[in-house]
Amino acid sequence: MQLPRKSVLAGLLLGLIPVGLGVAAIVTQSWISLIVQNTNVGTYGLFSCNNILCSSKFGFRTVQILEIAGVAAIAAGLIIAVFLDIFTENRWIHLLPQIFLFAGPALVFIGLLLYAKYLFEDISRMPSGPPLTLRLEYSIILIIIACLLGFLTAIYFSFVAGFGRYFRSPRTDGLEQLTERF
């Protein structure tokens, strides 16, 4: 057992940001507001819909599962990355957390696309009338930022795992050799 490297701890701190933002976005209520003539006529959230035309309940259930699974995958990837850095020196095993770290933001992104699809299906069922305005609320902004930072975290851990605990150092005869970092 060894102490984790500073680069892994920096990645952990970077990775806690999308996890925190994702959890905050999931637990808050309003994602999108429908506004007609400066009057709020409905609010869509991840788990709630305050609109009479909310008919895509099954579709929104899929979005809920994808968003929660995505944030959980990012968190699992962070935990696995730290524990693998502490308990093993095998460079190939250090690539294992990348599966979770790339799958998490991908699931969040797919959930966002499906959310938009189901939202527009509900809005298309509304009777014609005055122009409708969609206002993005803070929760959907948080999940978008969490998705982007999740991809950045995955890229960062790809570089960290690729470098491993060894680096190339020049020898006196011009050849390179692998030496252990301290």
pLDDT value for 73: 94
pLDDT value for 72: 94
**168 pLDDT more than 50:** no
pLDDT digits (tens, 9 = 90+) for 75-126: 999 888 888 877 776 666 767 888 888 999 999 999 999 888 888 877 777 7
The average confidence (pLDDT) of the chain is: 78
**144 pLDDT more than 80:** yes
In this structure, CATH architecture of domain 6-180:
Up-down Bundle (1.20)
CB atoms within 10 A of CB 57: 9
H-run or E-run covering 44? strand 39-44
| CA–CA separation, 77 and 107 (whole Å) | 14
Assess contact for 44 and 32: CB atoms under 8 A. Answer: yes
**Beta pairing, strands 176-180 & 166-170:** antiparallel
